[in-house]
Amino acid sequence: MKLRLSILAMSILTLAAANAAQLSISIANQSSEFTSANRLAVHAVDGSGLSAGNHDTDPTHMWLNSGDGTFPGGTPASDPDRPGQLAHITFNLGGTFTIGSFHVWNYNEVNANNQQSFTNRGVQTLTISIASTLNGTYTPLIDPANNTTTWTFAQAPGNGAYTGELFSLSAPVSAAFVRFDIKTNYGDANGLVGLSEVQIFSVPEPATWLLLGLGGVTLSIFSRRRD
């Protein structure tokens, strides 16, 4: 019976994991984007540059902010944003979902002509907040790695074999919008900061877990009758 229960529990967990679904997210807003060089915020959510889980080094497949305005072509021309941070970007989940994990590919630009790497424009530290409406109250999420509201993304390698980083929340949360408030980059002195791609994953609702559990019990009873 113990074995049977273990198998049942494992089945439920397996089903739940299998039901984690990538959400079809869009950009709700961004503090700025580098429009003239086609480094638009949308390129952080449209799958551009991704192939078999690897993100390439082409900057037109990434979002880059305007920085401090040193380089022309940003909209707005510079990114003053909020005091103490470089930029923000807000993701629209397309509805209210219970989210449990997300996958981030940091800024992975390499100049195709001279192979100069610009991964120092990647996001280093940030807060990640959720809200139920775009202009509602944003609640910061706790990073399970340090138990604070400061998250850290690793610097991209500057090559085409970049698999990004997968982050799991300590507990699933309900959200319709997710905002990254970016505090620091990896050293770019002009305040430029960007991302290659972001994916957000939902988990089954508690009600779904219950149904999965009931289904498992039914299967277990059915199985016993066949013994």
Q: Is 48 in the site for Ca ion (CB under 5 A)?
A: yes
Contact 92, 57 (CB under 8 A): no
Residue 49 lies near Ca ion (rule: CB under 5 A): yes
Cα separation, 116 vs 110, whole angstroms? 6
Select from 1-9, 175-183, 188-196, 215-223 the region that touches Ca ion (CB under 5 A): 188-196
**Closest to Ca ion by CB, 41 or 176:** 41
Q: Is 33 in the site for Ca ion (CB under 5 A)?
A: no
**∠ Cα 33 44 170 (to 5°):** 120
Nearer to Ca ion, 65 or 204 (CB): 65
Per-residue mark of binding to Ca ion, 146-185 (x: CB under 5 A): ----------------------------------------
User: Which range in 12-20, 64-72, 116-124, 193-201 contacts Ca ion by CB under 5 A?
Assistant: 193-201
Q: What angle, 0 to 180 degrees and rounded to 10, lies between the N-to-C axes of helices 206-225 and 2-18? A: 140
Number of residues lying near Ca ion (CB under 5 A): 6
Question: What are the DSSP calls for 92-128, one per residue?
Answer: EEEEEEEEEEEEEEE---B-TTT--B-GGGBEEEEEE
Exactly one of 33, 56, 188, 197 binds Ca ion (CB under 5 A); which one? 197
Q: Round to whole Å and give the CA distance between 94 and 80.
A: 28
* Preceding peptide of 83 cis, ω within 30°: no
Distance, in Å, from the CA atom of 89 to the CA atom of 128, rounded to the nearest integer, reads: 10
Specify the 3-state DSSP secondary structure of 168: strand
Residues 77-116 that bind Ca ion (CB under 5 A): none
H or E, element range at 132: none
- If the CB atoms of residues 48 and 155 are measured against Ca ion, the closer one turns out to be 48
Among 39, 61, 88, 121, binds Ca ion (CB under 5 A): 61
Shortest distance (Å) from residue 59 CB to Ca ion: 10
Closest to Ca ion by CB, 25 or 203: 25
Nearer to Ca ion, 43 or 179 (CB): 43
Binding site for Ca ion (CB under 5 A): 43, 48-49, 61, 196-197
